[in-house]
Amino acid sequence: MMRSDKPLRGRFAPTPSGKLHLGNAMTALLAWLQMRAAGGEIVLRMEDLDRQRCKPELAALLLTELKWLGLDWDEGPDIGGPHAPYEQSRRTGRYALALAELACQGRIYPCYCSRADLQGAVHAPHGLASEGPAYPGTCRALTADEREERARRKTPSLRFAMSETAIYRFRDGIAGELTYSGGAGGDFVVKRADGIVAYQLAVVTDDIEMGISDVLRGWDLLDSTPRQLALYEAMGSPPPRFAHSPLLLGEDGSRLSKRHGSVSLSDIRESLGVRPQRLVGFMAWLAGLRDRIEETTPGELVSTFDLSSVRRQAVTLPDDWMDLLKGNARSGPIDE
């Protein structure tokens, strides 16, 4: 059963491994609008567990860019709050406790497979798009002696054992009613061999502790939801309500990247000279909240925000999107 109690609390949880790009900015705007329209609170959390990729200067830039857009938050790394710290790199003790709890339940096990082993499992069924091929369960049934022998040669990762018979049903606030088989994605890593806690465990642990009632995030994370539902169940907590916003695609139909031009907020505001009100209006048009591009602020969108208006399909940026953004072309229908 999805969470239905109050207070309403949402979050935006960027990874500071690069500049904030247009697609993530639109998701942040929608997550903010969902909570502000409902009178709820919003939490900003930095998902910076991978310290090799995540940089403090990029985290600082993310805060600057979100504020430039006109977004604010009730708790976060810059203002604190009752659930501090709000950087995952400073919350590793909490993840260790969660892993210990799952170990006591017998829900996790060591995995000694290498990347080559997993790539060689060509006959394994394909799993969740965001997590790669389904793990074939190679190490799940190892005996204690076999684990001891393999541990002499390799530090293991830790995997969460998914039930092969479980069925996960939930109503996504944008995608609608969805059903997943528990075994479809296979057992998944909750702690890497290098000691870094994996995304699935960290995000569920944090959302439970921070009392998150509603999660609005990108469509690319939709098929991670059944794994997180399994973790909520194992950790004895009702899950939040989920909503997954549409992906923004480049003119060639692929995920937004540097090859599509000035897609980061830094480039848009510095190189293109776009005002934040214009960018907010552009994102509202892309998301389906407005039928044309008009300068506006996030606050001006709150009174008319309706989650059912958000597009359910990926949005392809038109060829002239930079001209549209700069006001040098007229907006028309969105290709989905």
Residues identified as active-site = 258
Please state, in angstroms and rounded to a whole number, the distance separating the CA atoms of residues 108 and 98: 11
| Structure tokens that stand for 200 in this block | 């699935």
Task: Give the single-character DSSP code of 280.
Answer: H
Whether the CB-CB separation of 124 and 184 falls below 8 Å is answered with no
Smallest CA-to-CA distance from 215 within 12, 1, 24, 48 is with: 12
CA distance 181 to 122: 21
Amino acid at 216: L
Peptide bond into 156 cis (omega under 30): no
Helix axis angle for 56-69 and 276-287, nearest 10°, is 80
What CA–CA distance (Å, rounded) separates 250 from 253?
5
CA angle 221, 247, 172 (to 5 degrees): 50
Q: How many CB atoms within 10 Å of residue 112?
A: 19
Torsion of CA 93, 99, 104, 106, to 10 degrees: -170
The enclosing H or E element of 244 equals strand 241-245
